[in-house]
Structure formats: C-alpha cells, structure tokens
C-alpha cells in the first residue's frame, strides 16, 4: 500500500522499511559475517577489516542492484559482486565467504523487522497509555453497551477503554515475544565451506548482529516469519478494532466520541470525519493481506522458488502498515473527545430490561437508574490498569 504513502504511514516507518534500509541491513550482515569468520579463525583478520571497510551504503545503488538482481533472482548476488570489486585484491574472496544470498536477505529482513517493531512498540505503548488514561478518567462514565449494535445493558466508557487497553497490551506482548533469528546456512543449510565450524560461526554471527541464534538454518522453515506476520496482524487488528469502535461511537446519531481535528470536507463543513480511525482500519486491511503472503507458502526442499522471493515486499508492507495502523490509532486516542453527556443521554430505558427481568425473578423492585447497573465494570477496569502498570 504505497500509493499516497505519507497519507497512511508516518515517515519513520516508511524510512525503516525503505530499500535503503534494506541495503544498510544487507551490508551490516556482510560486515558481521566477516567479523564472525575472523573471530572464528576462518579468515584473516585483516581481510575481515578490508571487507568491513567497504560495507558502506553510500558506495552502492540499491535501485541498480535491484535491476541487476533480475538476472539472479535477488539483489544480493550483484551486491556481492560490487562489494568484491570495491574490496579488490586477495581480500575480496572473503567477502560473503560461506554464505548464500538467502543468508544475507533473511538476516537483513530480521534487522529491518527489529528496527520497525521497535518503532511499533513505542506506538503500541503510547496508544496503551492513552487507553489507560481514558480508562482511569472514565471509570465512572456510564454509557450503553451495544451488542449486535443494539443497546444491551449499561457499561462505562472506562471499561470500554480498558478493553482496548488489554488488547493493546496483548498485542504488544505478542510482538515483543517474536524471536528474530540470524540466518546462516550457506548454499543449502550445511555451511559446507566452514566444515564443522558452522555452529561456532553461526553463534558469533548472530551475536555480532544481536539477533537470536537459531538451532538450525531456517531457509525453508519459515516459523520466524510466520510468527512475526501473525504478531503484526494482531497489532494492526487491535488498532482496527479501536478504530471500528470510534467510527461507530462517532456516528452523527451516536455522537459519544469525536476526533479532535476530525477530517474536514470541502463541501460539507458540518462533517467531522473520524479520519484517523478510518486510516487505522485501512492500514490493517493491508497488513492482513500481506500477512497471508508471509504464511502458507510452499518452500521447496532447501530453498524456495517463489514463496521466499515474495516475502521481501510483503514484510516491508506489513511492517510499515502495522506502524501506520497503530500510529493512526494512537493519534486518534490522543485527541479523542469523549462526550459523556451524550453517552448518558443516549441511554435508553431498554438498558434496564435485564435488571428488571432479574428483579422480577427475585421478586424485588428494580432500581430505575441505568447508571447503577454496572456490575463488575469497575473491578475489570482496575485489573486492566494493574496490568498496564506492570507493563511499563
């Protein structure tokens, strides 16, 4: 979803997944590789230095590498050729030593994912903080709960915000739980040129990149990618859920919340569109689709012919759009105007029907005030706020 990109995705997220960010990450991987090989005694230290010194993004043109990569099916093959030319001499042969293109791209993908999920974590935390604030402020703000969009029984806006809060905390924890492993398997997962030193180099390499050390190369075991995709989908999904609730509560006929600086219309000056909630929902649809590219693919034997190559763009989009979704909802929540008078006004007599049924069964008289039939709403808000306290 790059069309009109800045409309959907804030600059930091777009930058974090841009082709340039991938180039930086790929060079970081090539640098870490020679360092690890040098530390393991596989290649001479001075060669590692010589290679590492040329792992400088400004020396390479990612668009040209992409174009050139059409011949080999990925941009790493031309990058390695360019890097070796830059290094020159005997040292050149140690660049990319023992690695395969997929090692570089997969590790780079994890680096890109790490930086973007870092940004996402900040957004999730900020959105959660807004929900906690709203839950606290509106613990005693009664409103109608709606099931199948029909008024059901009373609730509080605090409990609604607490529900959003818990969902955001769940999503944040899920994103944080995703392990991002380094990839290093060589041509086909045996790290053949390294002999039995493979695991040692793999450990050093992962440490160098500060990525998790995988048990085995995962060229065609895409569990890490799938878990990441699921977590991004979940995060964007929570943003979309909050967005949906905001859109519904902001309806003209409901009017219980509105976005500060709601979207303007050139011809209909009365309108205050819930724009950020809408953008969050739009972004989340994109994440959901990209996540389906990152799961369910056919990864043949030792390296896939298609499903893997489809991951790069899908991952970038999923990361950026997840950021777009959560950032939009964070902005939405920051400026959310809660109209508690309207909430109270909207409450219909029907909200007491359940209470009356129970009262009649018990043979007692039912209280007529809908704002007093709130059950454990406050207790649940308390639990949510406690968990929020522990999360920060």
Q: Which of 32, 283, 322, 332 binds a copy of itself (CB under 8 A)?
A: 283
Does the protein bind a copy of itself through residue 285 (CB under 8 A)? yes
- 172 catalytic? Reply is no
Please give the DSSP secondary-structure letter assigned to residue 213: P
Closer to a copy of itself at the Cβ: 3 or 58? 3
**Nearest to 60, CA basis, from 44, 80, 41, 45:** 80
Tokens of 33: 């590789």
Provide the mask over 103-142, with x wherever binding to a copy of itself is found by CB under 8 A and - wherever it is not. ----------------------------------------
Q: Which of 12, 40, 66, 334 binds a copy of itself (CB under 8 A)?
A: 66
d(Cα 248, Cα 337) in Å, to the nearest integer? 14
The active-site residue out of 70, 93, 265, 376 is 265
Provide the mask over 67-106, with x wherever binding to a copy of itself is found by CB under 8 A and - wherever it is not. x-xxxxxxx-x--xx-----------x--x---x------
For the chain, state the CA radius of gyration: 26
- Report 309-338 residues binding a copy of itself (CB under 8 A): 309-310, 312-317
Distances from the Cα of 367 to the Cαs of 5, 218, 245, 285, 377, in angstroms? 54, 63, 29, 44, 18
Does the protein bind a copy of itself through residue 5 (CB under 8 A)? yes
Tokens of 275: 């724009």
C-alpha atoms less than 13 angstroms from C-alpha of 353 in its C-beta half-sphere:
10
User: Minimum CB separation from a copy of itself for residue 137, in Å?
Assistant: 18
Q: Near a copy of itself by CB under 8 A, which window of 27-35, 48-56, 122-130, 262-270?
A: 262-270
User: Minimum CB separation from a copy of itself for residue 33, in Å?
Assistant: 14
Closer to a copy of itself at the Cβ: 88 or 375? 375
Greatest Cα pair distance, the chain, in angstroms, is 95
Residue 338 has a CB neighbour count (10 Å cut-off) of 18
Closer to a copy of itself at the Cβ: 39 or 353? 353
- Report 19-58 residues binding a copy of itself (CB under 8 A): 19, 22
Tokens of 344: 């109270």
Does the protein bind a copy of itself through residue 61 (CB under 8 A)? no
Q: Which of 207, 289, 334, 335 binds a copy of itself (CB under 8 A)?
A: 289
The active-site residue out of 303, 342, 356, 387 is 303
| Size, binding site for a copy of itself by CB under 8 A | 163
- Report 179-238 residues binding a copy of itself (CB under 8 A): 186-199, 215-217, 220-221, 223, 226-227, 230, 233-234, 237-238
Closer to a copy of itself at the Cβ: 292 or 340? 292
**Residue whose token pair is 């009373």:** 154
**Nearest to 105, CA basis, from 71, 70, 79:** 79
4-43 burial, b for 16+ CB within 10 Å, e for fewer?
A: eeeebbbebbbebbeeebbbbbbbbbbbbbbbbbbbbebb
- 58 catalytic? Reply is no
**Nearest to 296, CA basis, from 284, 314, 283:** 314
- For the annotated catalytic residues, the residue numbers are 265, 303
């Amino acid at each position: 979803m790059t069309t009109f990109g800045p409309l959907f995705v804030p600059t930091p997220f777009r930058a974090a997944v841009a082709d340039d960010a991938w180039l930086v990450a790929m060079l970081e991987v090539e640098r870490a590789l020679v360092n690890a090989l040098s530390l393991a005694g596989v290649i001479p230290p001075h060669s590692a230095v010589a290679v590492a010194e040329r792992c400088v993004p400004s020396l390479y043109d990612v668009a040209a590498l992409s174009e050139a990569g059409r011949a080999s099916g990925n941009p790493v093959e031309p990058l390695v050729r360019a890097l070796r030319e830059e290094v020159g001499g005997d040292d050149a042969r140690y660049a990319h030593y023992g690695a395969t293109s997929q090692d570089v791209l997969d590790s780079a993908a994890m680096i890109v994912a790490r930086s973007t999920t870092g940004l996402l974590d900040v957004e999730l935390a900020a959105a959660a903080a807004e929900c906690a604030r709203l839950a606290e402020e509106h613990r005693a703000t009664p409103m109608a709960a709606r099931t199948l969009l029909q008024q059901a029984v009373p609730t509080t806006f605090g409990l609604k915000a607490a529900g959003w809060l818990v969902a955001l905390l769940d999503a944040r924890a899920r994103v944080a739980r995703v392990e991002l492993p380094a990839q290093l398997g060589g041509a086909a997962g045996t790290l053949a040129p390294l002999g039995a030193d493979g695991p040692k180099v793999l450990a050093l390499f992962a440490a160098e990149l500060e990525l998790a050390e995988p048990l085995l190369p995962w060229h065609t075991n895409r569990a890490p990618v799938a878990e990441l995709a699921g977590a991004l989908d979940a995060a964007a999904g929570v943003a979309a859920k909050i967005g949906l609730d905001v859109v519904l509560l902001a309806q003209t006929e409901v009017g219980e919340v509105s976005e500060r600086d709601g979207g303007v219309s050139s011809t209909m000056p009365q309108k205050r569109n819930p724009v950020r909630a809408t953008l969050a929902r739009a972004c989340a649809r994109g994440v959901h689709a990209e996540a389906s590219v990152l799961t369910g693919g056919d990864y043949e034997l030792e390296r896939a012919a298609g499903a893997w190559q489809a991951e790069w763009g899908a991952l970038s989009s999923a990361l950026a759009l997840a950021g777009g979704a959560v950032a939009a909802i964070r902005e939405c929540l920051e400026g959310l105007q809660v109209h508690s008078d309207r909430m109270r006004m909207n409450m219909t007599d029907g909200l007491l029907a359940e209470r009356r049924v129970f009262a009649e069964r018990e043979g007692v008289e039912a209280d007529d005030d809908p704002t007093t039939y709130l059950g454990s709403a406050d207790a649940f808000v308390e639990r949510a706020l406690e968990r929020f306290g522990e999360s920060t």
